Amino acid sequence: MTTWFVLLNIAILIILLIGLFYMQKKHISFSKRVFTALGLGIIFGFGLQFAYGPASEIVSESAGWIHLVGGGYVKFLQMIVMPLVFISILAAFTKMKLSNNVGKISSLILGLLVGTTAIAAAVGIAAAVGFDLEAVEITQGEAESARGEQLEQSFQSIEGRTFPQQILDLIPANPFLDFTGQRPTSTIAVVIFAAFLGIAYLGVRRKSAEQAEFFAKIVDTIHAVVMRVVILILRLTPYGVLAIMTRTVAVSDVDSILKLGKFVVASYVALAVMFLIHLLLLTFAGLNPVTYMKKAFPVLTFAFTSRTSAGALPLNIKTQKSLGVPEGIANFSGSFGLSIGQNGCAGIYPAMLAVMIAPTVGVNPLTPSFIITVIAIVAVSSFGVAGVGGGATFAAILVLSALNLPVALAGLLISIEPLIDMGRTAVNVSGSMASGILTSRITGEIDSSVYNDMNEKIEAEA
């Protein structure tokens, strides 16, 4: 009987996928198809949960088949990340888009990423205090205890690593290894390698124009092919979002979420405030925040459902370009934003945990010295996360250990971690895009006519 129910669920998924394909054939906009996929995924996921229960064998087997679609889409996106980053940055040099101000652009992007993460830490502290969150309110079961032990083991593996060591990890000793994505800092290492090749190209062009021209043609050809692959993959976005959202909702533990409802609400209030701060920064820069929200909707939806900033990188870059950001800057901000200055994972989350856990060891989290220390450590650690990888988990470990707070208590929220992580990832991606847009605005390289042109959207190509 289980098999028949699984087959029924698969058939329903196929019907929904066919419906999305029909919408594509009718030339319904990309954003509307993504939004429809999101809604259908939520409805179908809750339907599976209420019909069989989140822990049932039917849901487990169905989720495996559903993940074939969603996980496959994410892997396709991850497949193109390294080629896209490398060839796009190199093409920016051959097209003379990054010839004179690479240092300035990099410094501005990094400054904005780390600066907004410091602001995010302040927002996280305010949310934890405002909602009166304390770790002692959470019941520690077997899952929480196991997670705590795992975090302590992770801490032991990075304990003693200095900030200079973490920065050193950014440099590509073997760029071919980094192309495989084997290190947490591989993406940034590929960015640095591509920038070195670009600078070398500029030197060759001054001494041997003919060789430089031949190299530029090769780069432009590869760039055109890679961008075509990106477009082909982006066409699959609505189908991927449907499958990812269905699986996420179907296997979610609603009872645990309800028990920790205050923590979920506090987290999303903080994330919403941080997103509003992104919009305010764009407004102060003279840019329309409504236009940003409309164009950013598809990539933020994907980031929310998939919980992967790396997978969202192709959409991130395409969205920035549709907002008038030069390709070189879009690639730098998108790539750096994968592991440096993540507003949600490395800003809000560890700051909230610090405030929640501090009272368990007799520390008053409301003292000005503690608040200032948390914000400073979060800002520095948000850069250091790039040296160890692991997103929110490692950010929390770095911050809590620096404050001499018990690392294991960060495992108390494991039951609602996936739900919170969805919002964190979306805010990470928004912060990355905002840094690219603001950098373009400061350097005067943003194309305002493209930014304000609603015809310049991802759906125009995808």
What is the tens place of the pLDDT at every residue in 220-260? 899 889 888 888 888 888 898 899 888 888 887 776 666 67
Asked if residues 28 and 229 have their Cβ atoms less than 8 Å apart, the reply is no
Asked if residues 277 and 119 have their Cβ atoms less than 8 Å apart, the reply is yes
447-456, Cβ contacts within 8 angstroms, sequence gap of 24 or more: 447/324, 448/287, 448/324, 449/324, 450/322, 450/323, 450/324, 451/287, 451/288, 451/291, 451/323, 451/324, 452/288, 452/291, 454/291, 454/294, 454/295, 456/295, 456/322, 456/324
What is the token pair recorded at 154? 């992770």
> Is pLDDT above 60 for 79?
yes
Q: What is the pLDDT of residues 333-366, one digit of tens each?
A: 888 887 777 898 888 988 988 888 888 878 888 8
Q: What pLDDT does residue 409 have?
A: 67
Which domains, and CATH codes, for the chain? 2-460 (1.10.3860.10)
Name the pLDDT band for 19 (thresholds 50, 70, 90): very high
pTM (whole model) above 0.85: no
